[in-house]
Structure 1
Amino acid sequence: MLSRVADAIYWMNRYIERADNYARFLDVNFNLSLDLPPDISEQWQPLVATTGDWELYKSLHSKPVKNKVIYFLGFDENNPNSILNTITSARENARSVRPDITKEIWQQINNLYYLVKDEKEKKRWQKNDPRSFFNEIKKGCQLLNGIFDTTLSRNEGWHFGKIGQLIERADKTSRVLDVKYHMLLPKLEEVGSPFDLIQWTALLKSVSAFDMYRKQYGKLTPFHISEFLILDDAFPRSILYCLDKAEKSLNVITGSTTGYSNKAEKQIGILKSQLEYADINDIFKTGLHEYLDNFQVKLNETSSAIFDTFFSIENALSIS
């Protein structure tokens, strides 16, 4: 497969996963704002911080208020990571590899593109409850993921798409967990309070983990929630699960059965192994924020290694 095609499919899936996550974050935070006690201010700034776009937001807006944050994360053309721009980018990547994907995939990406474009033009989200739009984006992205899995052969293109999706998912799970623990609870006396539990519940719902977590642990505790989202090997949005599946797809592409054959396999193998042998007690002793911050740095290095190995100009002749 040409590296240009692999790169486009990889980023098509990363962008769709990013749009899905942003819709999740916005939906849950909007619901949270309705449930907050009257003496608690709405917390929209941490939501922007979750996406990593806080500096850009500050350069465009004076305060993190609801309507401005929804516009910034949903429709702002100045934000390269807004839902509008990520779906547009996914569509452009899909267009560039139209012969390598199915008609069903192309049609669903088009549906998502016109959905968000129509919502921006008509500005319905300013007048009505925006949650219906967030739900449409989530359902549209989930439908696209299902179409991707059920209409493509398990060839290199499919595996590159899954790697893109899983790397993005691991990144967003780490960010939402980091922001909750590091930014949303400034006062020690609030730990375990009803407000604290509301926020942890919102965090789990933002990654569709609430039901599976309650089945496994029952009681909501920061310790077990962190363990579930970082180290669980069966939940499809946990960090360990994402890296494990991404590594398996990478091994299929390269044909490796043991060890590693390139920089990308080495980086993702090291990172996954560190998670496999991690203990949540040790993570909390060293500091959850510090651990997640270090993980995000290493995940960025893994993403760079994937680019250098498969998509850079030097490797643009072919992947196989």
Structure 2
Amino acid sequence: MLSRVADTIYWLARYMERTQAMLQVIRIHYQASQDSPYDFSWRPVLYSYGHLSAEELTATEGDTARVLAHLILDKHNDASAYNNVLQARENARSAQDHITRDVWQCLNDYYHAIRSEEIAQQIRYGDPMSGIDALMRHGLVFTGAVQNTMPRDEGYGYLTMGGLLERALQTTDVLRLRWASAPTPSSNSLDAPELRYLLQSLFGHELYLKTYRGNFNPDSVLQFVLHNSHFAHSLSSCLNRLSWYFERLRADSLPESYERLEFMVGRLANHVKYSSVEAARPDQLNEFLLETRRELLDIAVAFGKYYFGRS
């Protein structure tokens, strides 16, 4: 496969994974705003996805309708869901010979949905949850099309690795975004809303309830998000599967390029596996997450350099 095509497919997956992750964060944050309207701020989410100046952020954070439109629909916000879907569609257009017709059709439908007047009206003036849910269903259909129609060839490997790398980054960012408001480890309440919102933001609430019988203990939540091998969004799960798919590239890789990436991915997977961070030490957790994020970005840069021909 040409490096240009591999790069295009890899970024297609990253944009789609990023879109689904940010829509879920926005969805749960909006839900939290309805539960606690007097003790709520959009500032953390705008920091992550808003790309606003300090003055613009202050002027925007208190207006929920304006925030949602900026994060989801704004064509001038490079990080908006609209621009992520647009970029994914353009990448798919460039690689149509290497993806199935169903995958292309899903992306095209998603693009037309997110720019439709109906979705815009729901998000700006109606029921934002319905509009967000409608968009997220398009993301689920895309994932189903990839899983059920794409051949398990080299292109599928790059598509999957792009999604897994982005998912690991999003898990790291969501954990940093929400953990600042989590209760201290001495809180053993079965109804800890901050921890519930964190798990819901990562699509892990239901599995956590089944695993821990509904006990919202900060240390258990932290271990679940970092290490649970059955949780598709845990850091360990993402890195282990990234390593597995990367190993399949060995035969089609230059030995030096493969060895460099193999070392970086393996080192980070072991770093996460053997980490001993505790909920009682938020400074240690924040340092661990920042270091993990830096290493994930280093892996992304190395992919670009050694596999996609980017300097």
TM over 0.5: yes
Q: Which residue of 1 aligns with 2:127?
A: 129
Tell me, which stretches of 5 or more residues in structure 1 are unaligned?
A: 315-320
Q: Which residue of 1 aligns with 2:12?
A: 12
Asked if 2 retains the 8 angstrom alpha-carbon contact of 1:101 and 1:152, the reply is yes
Tell me how far 1:195 sits from its aligned partner: 11
Letter in 2 for 1:56: L
Tell me how far 1:178 sits from its aligned partner: 1.1
Tell me, which stretches of 5 or more residues in structure 2 are unaligned?
A: none
Q: Distance in 2 between matches of 1:171 and 1:179?
A: 12
Asked if 1 retains the 8 angstrom alpha-carbon contact of 2:72 and 2:82, the reply is yes
Q: Which residue of 1 aligns with 2:25?
A: 25
Asked if 2 retains the 8 angstrom alpha-carbon contact of 1:105 and 1:148, the reply is yes
Tell me how far 1:205 sits from its aligned partner: 1.0
1:272 paired with 2:259, answer: no
Q: Which moved more, 1:114-123 or 1:211-220?
A: 114-123
Q: 1:170–1:41: structure 2 CA closer, same or farther, 3 Å change rule?
A: same
* SS of aligned partner of 1:22: helix
Letter in 1 for 2:209: R
Q: Which residue of 2 aligns with 1:43?
A: 41
1:198 paired with 2:193, answer: yes
Q: 1:313–1:302: structure 2 CA closer, same or farther, 3 Å change rule?
A: closer
Tell me how far 1:179 sits from its aligned partner: 1.6
State the superposition RMSD in angstroms: 2.7
Q: Which residue of 2 aligns with 1:93?
A: 91
Q: Deviations over 1:215-253 (max 9, x none)?
A: 111200111111101111221110110011111111101
Q: 1:96–1:59: structure 2 CA closer, same or farther, 3 Å change rule?
A: farther
Q: 1:57–1:108: structure 2 CA closer, same or farther, 3 Å change rule?
A: farther
Q: Deviations over 1:174-205 (max 9, x none)?
A: 111112223x25x96x9739798112111111
Q: Distance in 2 between matches of 1:173 and 1:17?
A: 11
**Number of residue-to-residue matches in the alignment:** 307
Q: Distance in 2 between matches of 1:232 and 1:88?
A: 33
Q: Could you tell me which of 186, 201, 210 is aligned with 2:205?
A: 210
* SS of aligned partner of 1:265: helix
Tell me how far 1:119 sits from its aligned partner: 4.2
Q: 1:243–1:127: structure 2 CA closer, same or farther, 3 Å change rule?
A: same
Tell me how far 1:124 sits from its aligned partner: 3.0
Letter in 1 for 2:61: P
Q: Which residue of 2 aligns with 1:294?
A: 291
* SS of aligned partner of 1:134: helix
Tell me how far 1:31 sits from its aligned partner: 1.1
Q: 1:28–1:192: structure 2 CA closer, same or farther, 3 Å change rule?
A: same
Runs of 4+ in 1 over 6 A off after TM superposition: 193-196
Q: 1:121–1:286: structure 2 CA closer, same or farther, 3 Å change rule?
A: closer
Q: Which residue of 1 aligns with 2:146?
A: 148
Q: TM-score, normalised by structure 1?
A: 0.87
Letter in 2 for 1:253: L
Asked if 2 retains the 8 angstrom alpha-carbon contact of 1:84 and 1:117, the reply is yes
Higher-RCO chain (CA-CA 8 Å, sequence separation at least 6): 1
Q: 1:285–1:2: structure 2 CA closer, same or farther, 3 Å change rule?
A: same
Tell me how far 1:78 sits from its aligned partner: 2.1
* SS of aligned partner of 2:307: helix
